[in-house]
Structure 1
Amino acid sequence: MIEVRQIDDANPALAHSPMVRALEKTFAYMAEHGGIGLTPSKAFKRVFVHWAAREFHWPGYTEEELFAINKVLNEIDFGPLMDLHDVMIALKIGRHYKGQFKLTKAGQELVGHPGRIFGIVTPFYLFEVNHARFSRFEDEPILGNWDLFLNVLNVETEDGATGADLRQVLFGAHDPAVGFDDVLSGLYIQVLRPLCWTGLLEENRAKGLLRTRERTFTKTPLWRAALRLDTDGVAQGATRH
Structure 2
Amino acid sequence: MTTLAEPPIWSLLTLPSLEALLSRDGSMPAAITFAHALDEVSVAEAPLLALTRLMIERAQALGGLTLTATGALSRADVRAFFDEMVWPGYDKANVLVMNKVLNEADVMPVEITRRIAQDVKLLRKREKRLLASKAGTMLIREDQAGALFRQLFVTTFWEVNLAYFDRVPLEAWPQNHIGIVLWCLSVAGHEWFKPEDLIRTCTVWDGTLDEGPIDFAGFALESRVLRPLTWFGLMETRLEGDDDLPVWRRARQYRKSELFDRALRFEVQLNKTSGVSH
TM-score after normalising by structure 2:
0.72
Q: State the match for 2:209 in structure 1.
A: none
Offset of 1:72 from its aligned partner?
Answer: 0.9
Match of 2:121 in 1: 92
Residue of structure 1 aligned with 2:232, choices 198, 201, 204: 198
Q: Return closer, same or farther for 1:35/1:188 CA change in 2, 3 Å cut-off.
A: same
Aligned-residue offset at 1:195: 1.2
Deviation of the 1:39 alpha carbon:
1.2
C-alpha separation between the residues in 2 aligned to 1:139 and 1:205? 26
Aligned mate of 1:122, from 153, 156, 174: 153
- 1:161-204 CA-partner distances (Å, limit 9, x unpaired): 222322253469xxxxx864111011111211111222211111
| Cα distance change of structure 1 residues 135 and 41 upon mapping to structure 2, 3 Å threshold | closer
**1: CA distance, partners of 2:269 / 2:51:** 29
| Aligned residue among 89, 101, 104 for 1:60 | 89
- After superposing the two structures, state which structure 1 stretch, 19-28 or 209-218, moved more: 209-218
Q: Residues 47 and 168 (structure 1 numbering): CA distance in 2 closer, same or farther, change over 3 Å?
A: same
C-alpha contact 1:18 1:197 (8 A) present in aligned 2: yes
Q: Which moved more, 1:35-44 or 1:141-150?
A: 141-150
Mapping 1:52-201, distance limit 5 Å: 52-112=81-141, 113-138=144-169, 140-143=171-174, 145-170=177-202, 180-201=214-235
The one-character-per-residue Cα deviations of 1:177-233 (angstroms, maximum 9, x if unpaired) are x86411101111121111122221111146548469932211123212210125799
Structure 1 partner of 2:22:
none
Q: 1:11 to 1:58 in 2, by over 3 A?
A: same
Aligned partners of 1:14 and 1:222 also within 8 Å: no
The reply to whether residue 220 of structure 1 matches residue 249 of structure 2 is no
Letter of the aligned partner of 1:222 in structure 2? L
**Larger helix percent:** 1
Larger radius of gyration: 2
Runs of 4+ in structure 1 displaced over 6 angstroms? none
Q: Which moved more, 1:131-140 or 1:215-224?
A: 131-140
1:2-81 map, 5 Å: 2-6=32-36, 8=38, 10-15=40-45, 17-81=46-110
Contact between 1:7 and 1:118, CA under 8 Å: does it hold in 2?
no
User: Could you tell which deviates more after superposition, 4-13 or 94-103?
Assistant: 4-13
Name the SS for the 1:199 alignment partner.
coil
In structure 2, relative to structure 1, the CA distance for the partners of 1:22 and 1:154 (3 Å cut) is same
- How many equivalent residue pairs? 227
Q: Distance in 2 between matches of 1:110 and 1:154?
A: 28
Superposed displacement of residue 140, structure 1: 2.0
Match of 2:5 in 1: none
Percent identity, aligned pairs only? 27
- TM-score (ref. length: structure 1): 0.82
Sort the Cα spacing of 1:188 and 1:211 in 2 relative to 1 into closer, same or farther, 3 A.
farther
Q: Aligned partner of 1:57: which letter?
A: V
Secondary structure of residue in 2 paired with 1:124:
helix
Indicate if the aligned counterparts of 2:124 and 2:131 stay in contact, CA closer than 8 A. Answer: yes
Change (3 A) 1:110 1:9: farther
Q: Distance in 1 between matches of 2:234 and 2:107?
A: 21
CA distance in 2, matches of 1:212, 1:141: 29
